[in-house]
Amino acid sequence: MAATPADASSSSSEAVVGGEKSNKMITLISSDGESFEATEEAAKMSVTIKHMIEDGCADDGIPLPNVPAKILSMVIEYCNKHAADADDTNKHVADPADADEDDDNNNNNASAGEKEDLKSFDASLVAVDQATLFDIILAANFLSIKGLLDLACQKVADDIKDKSVEEVREIFKIENDFTKEEEEAVRKENAWAFNE
Protein backbone atom coordinates (compact mmCIF):
# COMPACT_ATOMS: atom_id res chain seq x y z
CA MET A 1 0.00 0.00 0.00
CA ALA A 2 1.79 3.10 -1.17
CA ALA A 3 1.23 6.22 0.82
CA THR A 4 -0.59 8.78 -1.29
CA PRO A 5 -1.11 12.41 -0.42
CA ALA A 6 -4.82 13.06 -0.09
CA ASP A 7 -6.99 16.09 0.39
CA ALA A 8 -6.24 17.32 3.90
CA SER A 9 -9.90 17.78 4.71
CA SER A 10 -11.04 14.27 3.78
CA SER A 11 -11.83 11.96 6.68
CA SER A 12 -10.32 8.50 6.88
CA SER A 13 -12.09 5.98 4.65
CA GLU A 14 -13.13 2.54 5.72
CA ALA A 15 -12.31 -0.33 3.42
CA VAL A 16 -12.57 -3.81 4.82
CA VAL A 17 -10.59 -6.19 2.62
CA GLY A 18 -10.75 -9.94 3.10
CA GLY A 19 -12.02 -11.57 6.26
CA GLU A 20 -8.88 -11.55 8.37
CA LYS A 21 -7.96 -8.07 9.50
CA SER A 22 -9.84 -4.83 9.30
CA ASN A 23 -7.89 -2.78 6.75
CA LYS A 24 -9.31 0.46 7.94
CA MET A 25 -7.27 3.34 6.60
CA ILE A 26 -5.77 5.86 8.97
CA THR A 27 -4.87 9.38 7.91
CA LEU A 28 -1.59 10.78 9.19
CA ILE A 29 -0.83 14.48 8.81
CA SER A 30 2.76 15.68 8.63
CA SER A 31 4.10 18.83 10.27
CA ASP A 32 3.90 20.66 6.95
CA GLY A 33 0.23 19.78 6.43
CA GLU A 34 0.47 16.88 4.00
CA SER A 35 -1.86 13.94 4.52
CA PHE A 36 -0.83 10.32 4.15
CA GLU A 37 -2.92 7.20 4.34
CA ALA A 38 -1.84 3.95 5.89
CA THR A 39 -3.61 0.77 6.87
CA GLU A 40 -4.47 0.53 10.53
CA GLU A 41 -2.24 -2.53 10.77
CA ALA A 42 0.79 -0.64 9.46
CA ALA A 43 0.01 2.46 11.51
CA LYS A 44 -0.17 0.39 14.68
CA MET A 45 3.50 -0.45 14.34
CA SER A 46 3.83 2.92 16.00
CA VAL A 47 2.94 2.41 19.63
CA THR A 48 2.12 6.10 19.92
CA ILE A 49 -0.39 5.89 17.06
CA LYS A 50 -1.71 2.57 18.35
CA HIS A 51 -2.65 4.20 21.64
CA MET A 52 -4.29 7.11 19.89
CA ILE A 53 -6.35 4.75 17.76
CA GLU A 54 -7.39 2.77 20.80
CA ASP A 55 -8.31 5.94 22.65
CA GLY A 56 -10.51 6.95 19.75
CA CYS A 57 -8.49 10.03 18.78
CA ALA A 58 -7.78 8.87 15.26
CA ASP A 59 -11.07 9.39 13.52
CA ASP A 60 -10.30 12.75 11.96
CA GLY A 61 -6.73 11.96 11.04
CA ILE A 62 -3.72 12.09 13.35
CA PRO A 63 -1.62 15.26 13.26
CA LEU A 64 2.09 14.64 13.77
CA PRO A 65 3.58 18.08 14.35
CA ASN A 66 7.07 16.65 14.85
CA VAL A 67 7.34 14.74 11.60
CA PRO A 68 7.88 16.44 8.22
CA ALA A 69 6.30 14.92 5.10
CA LYS A 70 9.54 13.60 3.62
CA ILE A 71 10.26 11.60 6.77
CA LEU A 72 6.68 10.53 7.34
CA SER A 73 6.48 8.90 3.93
CA MET A 74 9.64 6.91 4.69
CA VAL A 75 8.28 5.88 8.06
CA ILE A 76 5.03 4.69 6.48
CA GLU A 77 7.00 2.77 3.86
CA TYR A 78 8.84 0.99 6.67
CA CYS A 79 5.65 0.22 8.53
CA ASN A 80 3.92 -1.14 5.43
CA LYS A 81 6.81 -3.41 4.62
CA HIS A 82 7.26 -4.71 8.15
CA ALA A 83 3.57 -5.05 8.99
CA ALA A 84 3.22 -7.36 5.99
CA ASP A 85 6.21 -9.38 7.15
CA ALA A 86 4.85 -9.71 10.68
CA ASP A 87 1.63 -11.07 9.24
CA ASP A 88 3.45 -13.68 7.12
CA THR A 89 5.49 -14.82 10.11
CA ASN A 90 2.32 -15.37 12.08
CA LYS A 91 0.91 -17.52 9.30
CA HIS A 92 3.99 -19.74 9.14
CA VAL A 93 4.08 -20.37 12.85
CA ALA A 94 0.44 -21.54 12.84
CA ASP A 95 0.77 -25.19 13.79
CA PRO A 96 4.20 -26.79 14.04
CA ALA A 97 2.55 -30.16 14.66
CA ASP A 98 1.06 -30.07 11.16
CA ALA A 99 4.13 -29.34 9.12
CA ASP A 100 6.00 -32.35 7.84
CA GLU A 101 9.66 -32.04 7.05
CA ASP A 102 9.23 -30.95 3.45
CA ASP A 103 6.82 -28.24 4.44
CA ASP A 104 9.27 -27.00 7.03
CA ASN A 105 12.05 -26.71 4.47
CA ASN A 106 9.81 -24.89 2.03
CA ASN A 107 8.58 -22.51 4.68
CA ASN A 108 12.11 -21.81 5.81
CA ASN A 109 13.27 -21.13 2.26
CA ALA A 110 10.38 -18.81 1.61
CA SER A 111 10.97 -16.81 4.78
CA ALA A 112 14.72 -16.84 4.17
CA GLY A 113 14.10 -15.16 0.82
CA GLU A 114 11.69 -12.72 2.38
CA LYS A 115 14.17 -11.99 5.13
CA GLU A 116 16.80 -11.13 2.54
CA ASP A 117 14.33 -8.76 0.86
CA LEU A 118 13.55 -7.13 4.14
CA LYS A 119 17.22 -6.73 4.99
CA SER A 120 18.00 -4.99 1.70
CA PHE A 121 14.91 -2.85 2.06
CA ASP A 122 16.02 -1.81 5.54
CA ALA A 123 19.56 -1.14 4.37
CA SER A 124 18.47 1.14 1.55
CA LEU A 125 15.98 2.94 3.75
CA VAL A 126 18.74 4.17 6.04
CA ALA A 127 21.36 4.77 3.34
CA VAL A 128 20.61 8.49 3.38
CA ASP A 129 22.32 11.73 4.28
CA GLN A 130 22.93 12.54 7.91
CA ALA A 131 20.18 15.11 8.31
CA THR A 132 17.58 12.65 7.05
CA LEU A 133 18.94 9.79 9.12
CA PHE A 134 18.69 11.75 12.34
CA ASP A 135 15.23 12.97 11.39
CA ILE A 136 14.24 9.31 11.00
CA ILE A 137 15.65 8.56 14.45
CA LEU A 138 13.74 11.43 16.02
CA ALA A 139 10.53 10.42 14.25
CA ALA A 140 10.89 6.73 15.16
CA ASN A 141 11.47 7.75 18.76
CA PHE A 142 8.49 10.09 18.86
CA LEU A 143 6.25 7.50 17.22
CA SER A 144 7.67 4.62 19.30
CA ILE A 145 8.53 2.33 16.41
CA LYS A 146 11.18 0.15 18.02
CA GLY A 147 12.28 -1.72 14.89
CA LEU A 148 12.90 1.47 12.91
CA LEU A 149 14.62 3.18 15.85
CA ASP A 150 16.96 0.21 16.34
CA LEU A 151 17.64 0.04 12.61
CA ALA A 152 18.53 3.71 12.30
CA CYS A 153 20.60 3.80 15.50
CA GLN A 154 22.50 0.72 14.35
CA LYS A 155 23.24 2.51 11.07
CA VAL A 156 24.78 5.43 12.94
CA ALA A 157 26.75 2.98 15.12
CA ASP A 158 28.00 1.24 11.98
CA ASP A 159 29.26 4.58 10.71
CA ILE A 160 31.12 5.15 13.98
CA LYS A 161 32.62 1.67 14.17
CA ASP A 162 36.22 1.12 13.20
CA LYS A 163 36.92 4.83 12.96
CA SER A 164 39.25 6.90 15.06
CA VAL A 165 37.89 9.58 17.36
CA GLU A 166 39.13 12.29 15.01
CA GLU A 167 37.45 10.64 12.03
CA VAL A 168 34.15 10.40 13.90
CA ARG A 169 34.33 14.08 14.85
CA GLU A 170 35.00 14.96 11.23
CA ILE A 171 32.17 12.86 9.80
CA PHE A 172 29.56 14.15 12.21
CA LYS A 173 31.01 17.63 12.60
CA ILE A 174 31.18 17.26 16.37
CA GLU A 175 32.96 20.15 17.99
CA ASN A 176 35.64 19.09 20.40
CA ASP A 177 35.19 21.31 23.45
CA PHE A 178 37.74 19.53 25.62
CA THR A 179 40.92 21.37 26.43
CA LYS A 180 44.05 19.48 25.46
CA GLU A 181 44.72 18.66 29.11
CA GLU A 182 41.17 17.47 29.77
CA GLU A 183 41.20 15.20 26.76
CA GLU A 184 44.53 13.71 27.72
CA ALA A 185 43.29 13.11 31.26
CA VAL A 186 40.20 11.27 30.03
CA ARG A 187 42.25 9.12 27.68
CA LYS A 188 44.69 8.29 30.42
CA GLU A 189 41.98 7.42 32.97
CA ASN A 190 40.45 5.05 30.46
CA ALA A 191 43.57 3.61 28.96
CA TRP A 192 41.92 0.20 28.69
CA ALA A 193 39.75 1.61 25.90
CA PHE A 194 42.33 3.67 24.13
CA ASN A 195 45.40 1.51 24.13
CA GLU A 196 45.35 -1.48 21.90
Q: Can residue 157 be called a binding residue for other proteins (CB under 8 A)?
A: yes
Burial class from Cβ neighbours inside 10 Å (0-12, 13-18, 19+) for residue 124 reads exposed
Q: Minimum distance between the CB of residue 179 and other proteins, rounded to whole angstroms?
A: 10
Q: Describe the strand order of the beta sheet including 35-39 as a list of residue ranges.
A: 35-39, 25-29, 62-63
Q: From residue 83 to residue 102, what is the string marking binding to other proteins with x (rule CB under 8 A)?
A: --------------x-----
Among 11, 162, 180, 181, binds other proteins (CB under 8 A): 162
Measured between alpha carbons, how far is 1 from 78 in angstroms, rounded to an integer?
11
Query: What CA–CA distances, in Å, run from 95 to 92, 108, 113, 118?
Result: 8, 14, 21, 24
Q: Per CB under 8 A, does 133 bind other proteins? A: yes
CB of 191 to other proteins, least distance (A): 7
Nearer to other proteins, 21 or 146 (CB): 146
Q: Minimum distance between the CB of residue 112 and other proteins, rounded to whole angstroms?
A: 14
Contacting positions for other proteins (CB under 8 A): 97, 119-120, 122-124, 126-131, 133-134, 137-138, 141, 147, 149-151, 153-162, 165, 168-169, 171-178, 182-183, 186-187, 189-194, 196
